[in-house]
C-alpha cells in the first residue's frame, strides 16, 4: 500500500466501491487513506475485533 501514489490509492478505493469488492479489502484501503489524511468520511464502518 505504501508504494501506491495518493492518486492511485484513491482510484483503487473508488473502483473497489464501484465493484463492491470484499469489505475487508475496502477497509484496508480506507485505513491507509485515513493514515494519509486522504479520507474524511469512510464509506464502510470500521469493524473492531476483540480477541
Domain ranges, ordered by start, for the chain: 1-51
At residue 50, does pLDDT exceed 50? no
CATH for 1-51, options being 3.40.50.1980, 3.40.50.300, 1.10.287.1100, 1.20.1250.20: 1.10.287.1100
**pLDDT at residue 14 in the model:** 95
User: What is the value of pTM for the model shown?
Assistant: 0.75
Handedness of CA 38, 46, 28, 15 (dihedral sign): negative
Tens of pLDDT along 6-37?
999 999 999 999 999 999 999 999 999 999 99
pLDDT-based confidence at residue 45 (cuts at 50, 70, 90)? low
Q: Given this model, what pLDDT does residue 40 score?
A: 76
Residue 49 DSSP one-character state: P
Amino acid at each position: 500500500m505504501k508504494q501506491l501514489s495518493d492518486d492511485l490509492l484513491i482510484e483503487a478505493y473508488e473502483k473497489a466501491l464501484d465493484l463492491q469488492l470484499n469489505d475487508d479489502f475496502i477497509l484496508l484501503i480506507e485505513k491507509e487513506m485515513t493514515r494519509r489524511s486522504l479520507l474524511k468520511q469512510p464509506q464502510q464502518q470500521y469493524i473492531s475485533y476483540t480477541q
